[in-house]
Amino acid sequence: MTDTTALPELVDSHCHLDFPDFAGEEAELIARARASGVRRLVTICTRLRNEPKVRALAEAHEGLFYAAGTHPMYAADEPLVTVEDLVALARHPKFVGIGETGLDYHYTAESAAIQAESLRIHIEAARRTGLPLIIHSRDADKDMARILAEEHRIGAFGCVMHCYTSGPELARVALDLGFYLSMSGIAAFPRSTEIRDIFAAAPRDRILVETDAPYLAPPPYRGKRNEPAHVAHTARIGAEALGMTEAEFRAQTTANFDRLFTRASA
C-alpha cells in the first residue's frame, strides 16, 4: 500500500458535503481526507436556497472552499438566478467558482431551453467575477459545445468540465477553448477505457481530479457512498492511464487546480 504521507497533496475539486448523506459527519470526512493527503476541497452548492448552509461549512473548516449555482437538473424547478445574484455571492473570500451549471438531457431534456438560459447567466457571472465556471454536461454534447464556443467568442472565461464522461469531440472543443477536464471515479471503472483515453490525450496541465462525493465512488468502493478521501484511488488509476507516477499526477493536478481556482490556491 502506498504511503500517502510521502506523496504530494491532492485536491478534491468537486464534492457535495452539504448533502444529507454526510449530515453530522463533515469533520470526520475532512479528517479522513487529510489522512489521504487531500488538503483542500471544493464543496458545491447545487440549489441557491442551500447556499447559506454550504457557506457555513466552508467557513467552519480550514481548506474547505465552496462554489454555488443552479444544477441543470433543477433549472426548471428553481427561481432563475441572475448574474447579480451570483456576483454578490462571489464576494465571499471562500467562494471560488460559479456553478455547477450546464446541460443535462439524460433525465431532464424537456427543460433544455431553461437550462441553456441558466447556463448563459452563469457564464456571464464567471466573466464578471473572473472565477471559473463549473460545468455539468450529460447527453448534451452538441449543444454544450455550441454554447461554450458561442459564449467564449463574446468574452473569455475560465472553465472546468466536471466529472468528464462525454465524448472526444466535446473534450476537443473544451480544451481548444483553454478549459480543463476533471476526472472522477468513473474514470477508474474497469470498463471506462474510452474516458481514460480522452484524459490520456489531453494536455497534462489541463486535468483536475475529483470525487463528486457522495456519488461515483471509485474501486474498491464502487457502489458505496463516496467521500473526499477516495479521490486518492482515482488519482492512482489516473496516474497509470497518463503514464505518470502517482506523485507526478498528484503534483500536476494540484498545480492545475491552483492555476484555475486562484482564490483557493496554495
pLDDT tens per residue, range 8-33: 999 999 999 999 999 999 999 999 99
Q: Is residue 3, in this structure, part of any structural domain at all?
A: no
Q: Is residue 4, in this structure, part of any structural domain at all?
A: no
Q: Is residue 89, in this structure, part of any structural domain at all?
A: yes
Q: What pTM, to 2 d.p., does this model score?
A: 0.96
CA distance 96 to 44: 10
Question: Residue 54's closest CA among 17, 100, 25?
Answer: 17
Q: What is the mean pLDDT of the chain?
A: 96
Q: Is residue 131, in this structure, part of any structural domain at all?
A: yes
pLDDT at 119 over 50: yes
At 190 the three-state DSSP class reads coil
Q: Look up the domain containing 71 and give its range.
A: 9-216+227-264
The CATH number given to whatever domain includes residue 80 is: 3.20.20.140
The alpha carbon of residue 202 and the mean position of all alpha carbons in its chain are separated, in whole angstroms, by 17
Taken as a whole, the chain contains a residue count of: 266
Max Cα-Cα span within the chain: 49
Give the total number of structural domains in the chain.
1
Q: Is residue 222, in this structure, part of any structural domain at all?
A: no
CA distance 265 to 198: 26
Q: Is residue 1, in this structure, part of any structural domain at all?
A: no
Q: Is residue 180, in this structure, part of any structural domain at all?
A: yes
**Mean local confidence (pLDDT), 130-144:** 98
Torsion sign across C-alpha atoms 44, 49, 50, 55: positive
pLDDT band at 41 (very low <50, low <70, confident <90, very high): very high
Nine cell digits for residue 184: 472522477
pLDDT band at 6 (very low <50, low <70, confident <90, very high): confident
**Mean local confidence (pLDDT), 234-245:** 97
Q: Is residue 231, in this structure, part of any structural domain at all?
A: yes
